[in-house]
Each structure stands twice: as C-alpha cells, then as structure tokens.
Amino acid sequence: MTHTEPHALPNVISVEAAQTLDGLFRERVKRSPHKEAYRYFNWISEQWSSYTWEQMYQHIARWQAALEKESLVAGDRVAVMMKSSPEWVMFEQAALGLGLVVIPLYTDDRVENAAYILGDAGVKLLLLENMRQWQEFLAIHEQISSLKRVVILRSFDAGHEAVQNHACVVAARDWLPAHAGAVKHCNTDAHGLATIIYTSGTSGRPKGVMLSHHNILSNTHACLQVIPVQDDDLFLSFLPLSHTFERTSGYYVPMMAGATIAYARSIQQLQEDLLHIRPTLLISVPRIYERVYAGIRTKLADGSGFARWLFHFAVGVGYSQFECQQGRGYRRLSHILWPLLEKLVADKVMAKLGGRLRFVMSGGAALSAEISRIFIGLGLPILQGYGMTESSPVVCANRPTDNVPASVGRPIPGVQVKLGENNALLIKGPNVMLGYWNNPEATRAVIDADGWLNSGDIASIDEQGHVSITGRLKEIIVLSTGEKVPPADMEAAILRDPLFEQVMLMGEAKPYLSVLAVLNPSRWQSFCDQYGLDERLDADQQRQQIEEVLLDKITAQTSEFPGYAKIRRVALIQEPWTVENGLLTPTLKLKRAKVVEKYQTDIDRLYAGH
C-alpha cells in the first residue's frame, strides 16, 4: 500500500520564504496583517482579548528596542521563564530578530535546576513572570553570575522593594519603550543556532539541545504536509512553550499556516476554556486525554447500566466505522445506527471539548490503546506521533487518512528512520539537532558519522512503514505529561537513606512518579519504634501510615530533582529482590519488567483513581 501526503495548502509559508524563525513571523505579517493571531485572557478587564499579526509585530518592535539597549550581541543567550502567552512570543521573536539564542525554562522547575541551565548556557538576560520567581533565584544568585539583566513581566507587589532595588532587576513596564521603529531581522543564516532546549539526561544534569532555525522550520513544514491545518483553524494552547512539542506543533505550525492560537488560562480552567474558545485543533500530551476519560468513567459509574451499555455500544460502532474508513474493515449493518448514536452519545462528549474539534494530536509520551479507541470511537480522530527534543521534535505521525492508533505513524516527509543495533530507532533528516551545548562527547554518543541520531528507543517498523515503539534502551521513564525522568539517578538518591534496601521508580505513561521500596531489615524495628508504628502490616490503615512516613523520607532525599520529578506515592514491599526469586540478574541488576509483573497489584494501588 502506498500513501501520498496531502497537497500543500495555499496559505502555508515555505521554508525558503521564511529562512529563519523570525523571518517566518515577518512573512506571516505580510500575508495576514489584519487577521487574528493570538487570543488571551486579559486579567485586568477580565475578558478575552486578541492581537492581529500586525499588532503583534508592533509590540515585538518595542521588545526588540528594549533588548538593543542591553549591549547584547548576536549569539548571546537570553532565557524566558514564563507561562505561554503573547508576551512569550513577543520576547522570543524580538530576540531571534537580533540573532540572540533563546532558552526556554519551565515555570514549575526547581530554582536549582533552572540556575544550572542559566549558568551552563551563560545566559545574560532572563525574563520572569513575577517577582516571586526572582526571590527564589536570589537565594542562589552567586550561581548565575552571567546574568546582567532580569526583567519581571508582572508589576512589582508591595513589600518587594528590597528585591526590586537589586541592580539588575527591572519591571517590564519600565523597561519597554512606549513606541519603537521597524522590527529588525539581523540574522540571515538559516542554519545558525536559534535555541538551546535543556532535556534530562541519564547523568542527572540536563543537556542543552542545540536547534537551528532550519531544524525547526523544516520540521514545522513537514508537519503541515501531514496534518492539514487551515488558516481558519483555532488552536487552544495549554502546554508550556518550554515543551518542544508545543513550541513546534502549537506555535510555529499555526504561524506557518496562518491559523489563530488561543492561550488557555490554566490547566485547572481548561474545561471552561474549551467551552468558551471552542477550538478546532488541540495539541496535547496523553495526560489531558486521560483526565477527560477519567471524568467519563466516573459519570458512567454513577449512571445506569443501560447508559454504560449504550456508551460502549456507540464506541464499538464508531470504532468499527473508523476501521472501515481506514480500509481495514468492512461495512456493517450497525453502521447505519451511527447518526443516532452520534446524537445520543458522541455529540454530548464532544460538546465538553467545545464541539468543533476536527482532530487532536497526541505526543510527548505513549497514549494508551484504550483511551485512543474511546475517542476515535466517539468520532474524534486522535493522531498519535513520536519525536524527541533532539529531532525538533517530530519524527513520525499518524495521518487522518492513514491512522494506525497502535503505532506512532510513518516518518514525516524528509525524515528517514531505520533500526540499528538492538532494534534501536535511528533518525536522519534536516530536523536532527546541531548537537549538545558544550558537550561534544555526548553529541558523538548519539549522532554517528553519517548523521544518524540514536533515539534510545526500541522500535519495530511494519511493511507500510508504520513505526511502533516497543521499549527503551535507556531506562528513562516518560510520564504521561511528556516529561522524562532517568530512574537510576533518583533511585540512587533515595538509597542514600540507609532505611531503604532496594527501590524502583515507577511512572511510565502515568501522571506522576511512585516508588516500590524494600526496607533494610536490620533497621525495620528501630524505624517502627522511632515513629511509634506497629511493625505488622496487616491493617490497611497501618500500612498507609508507614508509607506516608516513607514518602517524607523519599521527598527529603530527592529535593534536588526538577519539580516535575516529584514522587507522590510509595508502596512498601516486604520480600527482598534477589537472584533466587528471579528479580535480579546474576550481576545484581534489577529486572524491572519482572518486578512490575510480580507487583502489579501494588502498582495498581499506587495509581488507583488516576
């Protein structure tokens, strides 16, 4: 079977016309100056507002004029630690136009981790959301001596005078000029460094992935050849722009196609924003679909038996119809019932997502087959893809007309994949990174002399070219939020407390991290005496009390790890893991899959209700 990509949409900007990421914005302004570009919630007026592309360009000129006063030169690094917003875009576009290198930081990251990144990259200017963030940095200010300027977007609060008076700190309202001239585009090198995105590594310290303008532009254009985004589409953006998936797919893709982006107020208010914005496209990690599905399950559990039967019957008919449309099934008599089932069941669920979604994209982590089947069965195609920061990030994606939900789809145009040693997925294309910042050794370890990037993932490829990810060469846990956590580092940190004999970190495709823990038998009695605990684990209440104390100890040992790597649950395991019981190899390495198999009941308890 052969597949062809959809024809290029007429309003899509080519890579050649854009040249650079700031050139892409300039070209969009030329083509669609008065069209709505960004929608956001104005917290002062307490209503939704918007900017046209031309209005955004005028603001970018102001940000650029302010940056020019800071004696920065092309190639200097600047960082942004803010939630996604039009101001994030203004800052980034202004910096790129001056040839500066932009480093995005997660707003919920631990300050120690952010400080390491700022120091490693030699960042000279940092844009923060509010004064609270700067107060946290002040405690370790000596570690970020490269910083010459800190700009605070939100107004200073009363009582922050001492912090405000720090020599390098300024409020954005005082820093930005009222007016400015034309936006400058100093950089014309498409292959020059545009951004450094730090990603967790097995060493415990994040590595800086260097991406060029062409890396990202080529990836953006290839995505648009796969996913037919139209200029009347409306995206609802709720993932952080520090997440590479959101930055390429939810920021540059709409810009290249001329679509509009609305920025959600928060994850907590996402349900309300979906109903108000009524987006046509969503970019998300699996966690969001998991939350919607959890709500559906709760409602079904409270409903009648007939309602549950009707829901699952509708999903079954809808999914059967989808398989038929994909050329993998046959027409069935039950398909004639779909218009009625759609009205009775599917439309009610889709209404909670705004009622206008054409399709949604899932990436950053694996989406469970069950959840994928539910949404597709309700008439909402979920297009699962695969990528990594080092590949800008998209490598493979399912298409609307070629959607194999159990796979991550075929490679996008211009990208090649093949299987290497141990069936590792190897990637080659214009989207592959320039390398790791200040780390040539790590670069050589993942990119060979012929330019093939080793993903570290074990894969299979079917005859039609669909890629399925079957495992991980490096045992890095990928949470359902898309964050990556190397377990060995955290496990070693926990074991610094002598109470713990053996531990195993859990969380693959889950919303948070948990731990299975075996305690040191020689310290068990004294531990119980110290906390006034009964050493018997017969009662659920007693077990819960012990595990809460253990969680406090684990938290104390793992405080230096990023915020998204917080461990939320622990299960106490009484039997040690040994070679004899098949849970350790002869070289005493943990057989993780065997441990999961043996303690599946305990693991299910750790994630019950989520």
Q: How does residue 117 score in pLDDT terms, banded at 50, 70 and 90?
A: very high
* Closest alpha carbon to 404 in 458, 359, 462: 462
Specify the pLDDT at position 536. Answer: 64
Q: Fold for domain 486-606?
A: GMP Synthetase; Chain A, domain 3 (3.30.300)
Question: What per-residue confidence (pLDDT) applies to 485?
Answer: 84
Range name among 53-62, 449-458, 486-495, 530-539 with the lowest pLDDT average: 530-539
C-alpha dihedral over 452, 453, 458, 462, to 10 degrees?
-50
CA–CA dist 199, 206 (Å, integer) = 5
Separation CA 70–CA 72 (nearest Å) = 5
Residue 157 banded pLDDT, cuts 50, 70, 90: low
Which residues, in sequence order, are CB contacts of 214 under 8 Å at separation 6+? Answer: 15, 190, 191, 430
pLDDT at 484 over 50: yes
pLDDT digit string, tens, across residues 272-285:
999 999 999 999 98
Q: How confident is the model at residue 212 (pLDDT cuts 50, 70, 90)?
A: very high
Architecture category of domain 38-264 in CATH: 3-Layer(aba) Sandwich (3.40)
Which homologous superfamily is 286-475 in?
ANL, N-terminal domain (3.40.50.12780)
Query: What is the pLDDT at residue 1?
Result: 39
Q: In which band, very low, low, confident or very high, does the pLDDT at 478 lie, cut at 50, 70 and 90?
A: confident
Q: What is the spatial distance between Cα 175 and Cα 152, in angstroms, rounded to a whole number?
A: 9
User: By C-alpha distance, which of 223, 247, 249, 212 is closest to 413?
Assistant: 223
**Percent with pLDDT over 90 in the chain:** 66
| Amino acid found at 318 | G
36-42 vs 47-52, strand pairing mode: antiparallel
Q: What is the mean pLDDT of residues 39-54?
A: 96
> How open is the CA angle 184-188-189, to the nearest 5 degrees?
140
Task: Return d(Cα 445, Cα 92) in angstroms, integer.
Answer: 31
Is residue 56 pLDDT above 50, yes or no? yes
- The first and second tokens of residue 465, run together, are 């070219």
Domain boundaries along the sequence of the chain: 38-264, 286-475, 486-606
Q: Do 105 and 119 form a contact (C-beta atoms < 8 A)?
A: no
pLDDT at 337 over 60: yes
Are the C-beta atoms of residues 261 and 254 closer than 8 Å to each other?
yes
If residue 459 lies in a helix (H) or strand (E), which one and from where to where? strand 453-461
148 — pLDDT class (breaks 50, 70, 90): very high
Q: Is the pLDDT of residue 330 over 80?
A: yes
**Band of residue 524 on the pLDDT scale cut at 50, 70, 90:** confident
Mean pLDDT of the chain: 90
CATH topology identical between 38-264 and 486-606 = no
Going by C-alpha positions, the residue among 309, 391, 293, 389 that lies closest to residue 349 is 293
Whole-prediction pTM value? Answer: 0.82
Query: In the predicted model, is pLDDT for residue 502 greater than 80?
Result: yes
* Range name among 82-91, 164-173, 462-471, 584-593 with the lowest pLDDT average: 584-593
606 contacts 514 by C-beta, under 8 angstroms = yes
Q: How far apart are CA 267 and CA 272, in angstroms?
A: 10
Using CA atoms, how far residue 121 sits from 147, 168, 357, 556, in Å, is 11, 18, 40, 29
Q: Are strands 77-81 and 125-128 parallel, antiparallel or unpaired?
A: parallel
Taking 60 as the threshold, does the pLDDT of residue 158 lie above it?
no
Question: Residue range 200-204: average pLDDT?
Answer: 47
Strand partners, 490: none
